[in-house]
Amino acid sequence: MSYPDIRPRRLRRTAAMRRLVEETRVAPSELVLPVFVKEGLTEPRPIASMPGVLQHSRDSLRKAVHEAVGAGVGGIMLFGVPTNEHKDPTGSRGVDPDGILNVAIRDVIAEVGNSTVVMSDLCLDEFTSHGHCGVLAPDGSVDNDATLAAYAEMGVAQAAAGAHVVGPSGMMDGQIGVVRRALDAAGHTDVAVLAYAVKYASALYGPFRDAVESSLQGDRRTYQQDPPNLREAMREVDLDVAEGADMVMVKPALPYLDVISAVHDRVDIPVAAYQISGEYAMVEAAAANGWIDRERTLLETLTSIRRAGAQIILTYWATEAAGLLRERY
């Protein structure tokens, strides 16, 4: 046969035909909803730079989790936001059983149990007065090994609160091995570790820092990865897998689809990607101005992340996207 006898367009002719032959599908069960719970709130509070996303009270958190589970979302990632008076240089509220994150874990587990996967962010940045992801040395740099000791304690506290998965996200060298050993020593051998193995020092975290009321002084370029580097990312992945990671994650997602694909080809454990706050905010802002079709865009972005190789996608659209996907299929 010769052109125009070969006509690939035959398989694009109707919506039913396109559904029949599409190569990549996103399932609601592959989505994880990141949620913020703020200490002391009695009503949820909108986050101005992330339209549609809230700082939750403990009560509204329970409602949001129920909605997500009802929509078929596969998991919840919890972030705690303490009051300023509960921040200190070591982030001690992050390991306190009565700190907002550990309280929120217990609340969610009490509400939904094992009907979804309850994940918790294992990092000190929300809890430190300086906003960095670890304990500072006298010269103001982040002390890697002192931070590891805090992560070990924090991981055990989150597991004791009921988390199914802990997510060390601070990009400290050796963090996965230290957390895994601490969990096992405390009897939490069934708690999984989602390694933020590839976390770039991105310009797209700004809205997230609004969401957690970050106190960051300076930047995180000395421990988060440099955006131009791919081979370094593969080294980080190899180290985290060797240290016992059950899953690995790439963050951000859309600017790093090539990295997601490379990680997917390299490992034999689940690969996650985090569609971060700046990615979300850009789409919402463009849609609000009438420049793009919002629903089509959000589904297209999720599909591209899935096509690149991410089996699990953290996205602030998780509940809404799950509903759209159920309608579509």
Give residue-wise pLDDT tens across range 51-62.
999 999 999 999
What confidence score (pLDDT) does residue 214 get?
87
What is the pLDDT, as a whole number, of residue 57? 98
Q: What is the pLDDT of residue 18?
A: 94
**In the CATH hierarchy, which top-level class contains the domain 26-328?**
alpha beta
**What is the percentage of the chain residues whose pLDDT exceeds 90?**
91
Tell me the percentage of the chain whose pLDDT exceeds 70: 99
Q: Which residues contact 142 (CB under 8 A, 6 or more apart)?
A: 132, 133, 134, 135, 136, 172, 222, 223
Give pLDDT tens digits for 225-264.
999 999 999 999 999 999 999 999 999 999 999 999 999 9
Identify the band that residue 219 occupies on the pLDDT scale cut at 50, 70 and 90: confident
- Residue 115: pLDDT over 70: yes
Q: Confirm whether 251 is a catalytic residue.
A: yes
Residues near 15 by beta carbon (within 8 Å), at least 6 away in sequence: none
Model-level pTM greater than 0.85?
Answer: yes
Distance CA 225, CA 183 (A): 26
Q: Which of 38, 63, 87, 251 is catalytic?
A: 251
pLDDT in tens, 152-188: 999 999 999 999 999 999 999 999 999 999 999 999 9
- Classified as helix, coil or strand, 45 is strand
Confidence at residue 3, expressed as pLDDT on a 0 to 100 scale: 67
CA distance 162 to 117: 11
pLDDT of residue 249: 98
Catalytic residue list contains 38: no
Average pLDDT of the segment spanning 178-199: 98
Mean local confidence (pLDDT), 22-48: 97
